[in-house]
Structure 1
Amino acid sequence: MTVLPGCYCPLDGTRVPSGSLDWCCPACRGPLDLDYSPTPAPLKSLAGRVNSLWRYAECLPIPVAECSLGEGRTPVVGLTDTVSAKLDFLMPTLSFKDRGAVMLAALATRLGPERVVADSSGNAGTAVAAYCARARLPCSVYVPEGTSAKKMEQIGAHGARLEVVAGDREATARAAREAADEAGVFYASHVYNPYFLHGTKTYVHELWEDLGGRLPDVLVLPVGNGTLLLGAALAVAELHTAGLIDRRPALHAVQAANVAPLAAAWRAGADDLTGEAVAGEPTFAEGIAIARPPRARQILRAVRESGGAFHTVTEDQIRHAQLDLASRGLFVESTGVACWAATREGGPLGAVLNGRAAVVPLCGAGLKTGLADPEAV
């Protein structure tokens, strides 16, 4: 069996040994990173490998998973002459969260906990529930009241115990963390557990392979807890360090204007969030409505070091972007259209791109939430 890498706290350096069920830094209670620096395989060596994200085994802290559902290798389609979309809603549970959830389930099977706990606004919980079902692991998923009924139905269908928490996303996370502190519990956190990020990074490895060993000038990424953006930053660093790309793309982060703590910190020139969390206004982009992301400092640094920026989109822009994609044959949930809302004509990124090649992720299927404005059709 592969030896698991250890974890460490990026803030104070506290180390957590491999095989531990500790889900956070025991000193500061912050999220952990992996002590792991893989070397990607060259492009020509990938031919003939398994057609899933596991084809990048050299870059994964767990190189094989018995609980795989064939996740990854989603297609890229053009939206304009310079902007393409990666269809990550074409995953087993219909969202990009499968990339990280399969890594968490693979890790849990090796650690052998009594049960698995997760918290989510829907998609991450659904993915964890599905992969725990595949791995025959007992699972409880905490979701906030008001979560899409379709997402809750999907979580329950996979056999997970559904815990609906009165309150917002942060209240839900607190409830799950309390459960995670019990003995014998594995916290399948897509925020705190770094294995999740090493799953989402395969989004960029796939782009690199499909584009013939290069990356676009700009990666546009939605940010709530930042798991896709931080995974992308990991992959870009791996490919660049290995000499497999000669330049790093700019990472442009998108938040809903109604809940945009990171964009506000960016505009203020801050390195981290300050003050108390502010819930913000309701938004159709429920999956990125995170008032105080635990990895805020890392997200801000990753965007800054890439030469990118933060952008916000309004509820009207989200509505129109969802309908626009549907008119092109792509029915995407309202959170998943945020990047296209920012990038399409009239969005805040339109002028910034100025003809540069960009890729946006379409992260979740429209059937999960329905239309943001059903009366518009």
Structure 2
Amino acid sequence: MTTYHCPQDGTRSAVSALTWRCPVCHGPWDLDFTPAPGLALNALSGRANSLWRYEEILPLSAPSVSLGEGRTPLVPLTDTVSAKLDHLMPTLSFKDRGAVMLAELARRLNPDRVVADSSGNAGTSIAAYCARAGLPCTVYVPEGTSPKKTEQIRAHGARLVTVPGDREATALAARAAAGEPGAFYASHVFNPYFLHGTKTYVYELWEDLGGRLPDTLAVPVGNGTLLLGAALATAELHALGLIASRPRLIAVQAEAVAPLAAAFHAGADDLLPGAAAAPTLAEGIAIPRPPRARQILAAVRGSGGTFLTVTEDEIRDAQRDLAARGFYVETTGVACWAAVRDGLGQGVDRPRSVVVPLCGAGLKTGMAG
């Protein structure tokens, strides 16, 4: 295992210290990690049919908690848009990519307990992988979380704590518990091992497309874990000489909760004060103040990409449209299809090829009314 470092002030911490955030600025950690050379398409034959096949680029290896996560299908939706079917992961969401990394890390550190907070999918993933690892787990969720998601969390044996209020109140409650001695905070936001799991989404695209990437990746953004993982992967692939140029990142938010889109279009480097939020069907990306906001904004700008927002009616229609095409996807998971299916909007060049993730199964939330 390597060390954590703070991207804001350079503070460092041993991973084994269970310090879940920078003690100076209280921001999220990054990881001191550089992929090993040697990854090549012709070296992948015969390897594990899971995300662990990319062993050179992962900060952990030889897991004992794998559920076979990763290697989800890539299928065309139109002549320019393809979908990555991450709703077919073991717990039915892309969060398994990062959760397996956190559970494997926790297993090696052997804490007294694991604490997580979530609007549903990340908590489900953490609960499942902690069950696999034999680790006691407590998951905090906001009131109003889909009963189907809370049922899934309980089924994996985790202790469920429902917090009155919104997603931010839930995070605060979990962080208070995470500060107690012997607790490992399995945070999909603050812990960078999660991002090194989500980056495998792009490595799979690179493999499936024969050593290249689409010119545009559209990604739903709340806390930004999939987008930052994608940015990390494209930077690594470029540095390793495995792609000639990086794809553009299109970040998608619900119009009802779009603090990052507002900051991006205002030309700001961080969140604007007093960002408004309203209820949205896209509960998984309804994050008013994402802790990695500066990194997300910088990643999108650095790729030459932009932010798009979608309305509640567009989310409903996109879910019905995907279901009619054979894909039953939860409301958060259809946001990118809602954003790109009719083009990328005024002022955005039409891509030659774009991939959208179908992030979570419709069974988790049901059809929008």
Q: TM-score, normalised by structure 1?
A: 0.96
Partner residue of 1:193?
Answer: 191
Partner residue of 2:294?
Answer: 297
Q: Percent identity?
A: 72
Alignment of 1:171-320 (within 5 A): 171-276=169-274, 278=276, 280-320=277-317
Counterpart of 2:81, as a letter, is: V
Q: Tell me by how many angstroms 1:348 deviates.
A: 4.2
Q: Tell me by how many angstroms 1:354 deviates.
A: 2.0
Q: Tell me by how many angstroms 1:276 deviates.
A: 3.9
Q: Tell me by how many angstroms 1:25 deviates.
A: 0.2
Counterpart of 2:368, as a letter, is: A
Partner residue of 1:122?
Answer: 120
Gaps of 5+ in 1: none
The answer (yes or no) to whether the contact 1:342–1:350 under 8 Å persists in 2 is: no
Partner residue of 1:113?
Answer: 111
For 2:178 and 2:230, the matched residues in 1 are separated by 27
For 1:371 and 1:101, the matched residues in 2 are separated by 26
For 1:317 and 1:296, the matched residues in 2 are separated by 25
Tell me: CA distance 1:96–1:254, structure 2 relative to 1, closer, same or farther (3 Å): same
SS in 1 for 2:139: strand
For 2:349 and 2:197, the matched residues in 1 are separated by 28
Partner residue of 1:342?
Answer: 339
For 1:256 and 1:156, the matched residues in 2 are separated by 29
Counterpart of 1:133, as a letter, is: A
User: Is residue 63 from structure 1 mapped to residue 61 from structure 2 by the alignment?
Assistant: yes
Which residue among 343, 355, 358 is the counterpart of 2:354? 358
Partner residue of 2:21?
Answer: 24
CA RMSD of aligned residues (A): 1.1
Counterpart of 2:220, as a letter, is: P
For 2:308 and 2:46, the matched residues in 1 are separated by 39
Q: Tell me by how many angstroms 1:274 deviates.
A: 2.9
Counterpart of 1:344, as a letter, is: R
Counterpart of 1:62, as a letter, is: L
Give CA deviations for 1:217-255 in whole Å, capped at 9, x if unaligned: 000000000000000001001100010000100000000
Partner residue of 1:157?
Answer: 155
4+ residue runs over 4 A deviation: 347-351
Partner residue of 2:70?
Answer: 72
Q: Tell me by how many angstroms 1:18 deviates.
A: 2.7
Q: TM-score, normalised by structure 2?
A: 0.98
For 1:352 and 1:76, the matched residues in 2 are separated by 24
The answer (yes or no) to whether the contact 1:312–1:348 under 8 Å persists in 2 is: no
Counterpart of 2:312, as a letter, is: E
Give CA deviations for 1:75-102 in whole Å, capped at 9, x if unaligned: 0000000100000000000000000000
For 1:127 and 1:326, the matched residues in 2 are separated by 24
For 1:274 and 1:352, the matched residues in 2 are separated by 24
SS in 2 for 1:352: coil
The answer (yes or no) to whether the contact 1:343–1:350 under 8 Å persists in 2 is: no
The answer (yes or no) to whether the contact 2:216–2:351 under 8 Å persists in 1 is: no
Counterpart of 2:260, as a letter, is: L
Which residue among 98, 101, 104 is the counterpart of 2:99? 101
Counterpart of 1:36, as a letter, is: F
Of stretches 316-325 and 347-356 in structure 1, the one that deviates more from structure 2 is 347-356
Give CA deviations for 1:97-121 in whole Å, capped at 9, x if unaligned: 0000000000000111000000000
SS in 2 for 1:235: helix
Partner residue of 1:170?
Answer: 168
For 2:187 and 2:89, the matched residues in 1 are separated by 19
The answer (yes or no) to whether the contact 2:259–2:272 under 8 Å persists in 1 is: no
Counterpart of 2:341, as a letter, is: R
The answer (yes or no) to whether the contact 1:313–1:348 under 8 Å persists in 2 is: no
For 1:356 and 1:157, the matched residues in 2 are separated by 43
Gaps of 5+ in 2: none
SS in 1 for 2:126: helix
The answer (yes or no) to whether the contact 1:191–1:225 under 8 Å persists in 2 is: yes
The answer (yes or no) to whether the contact 2:344–2:350 under 8 Å persists in 1 is: no
Of stretches 57-66 and 88-97 in structure 1, the one that deviates more from structure 2 is 57-66
Partner residue of 2:45?
Answer: 47
For 2:287 and 2:65, the matched residues in 1 are separated by 29
For 2:8 and 2:351, the matched residues in 1 are separated by 38
For 2:346 and 2:54, the matched residues in 1 are separated by 33
SS in 1 for 2:16: coil
Q: Tell me by how many angstroms 1:43 deviates.
A: 1.2
Of stretches 96-105 and 347-356 in structure 1, the one that deviates more from structure 2 is 347-356
The answer (yes or no) to whether the contact 1:339–1:361 under 8 Å persists in 2 is: yes
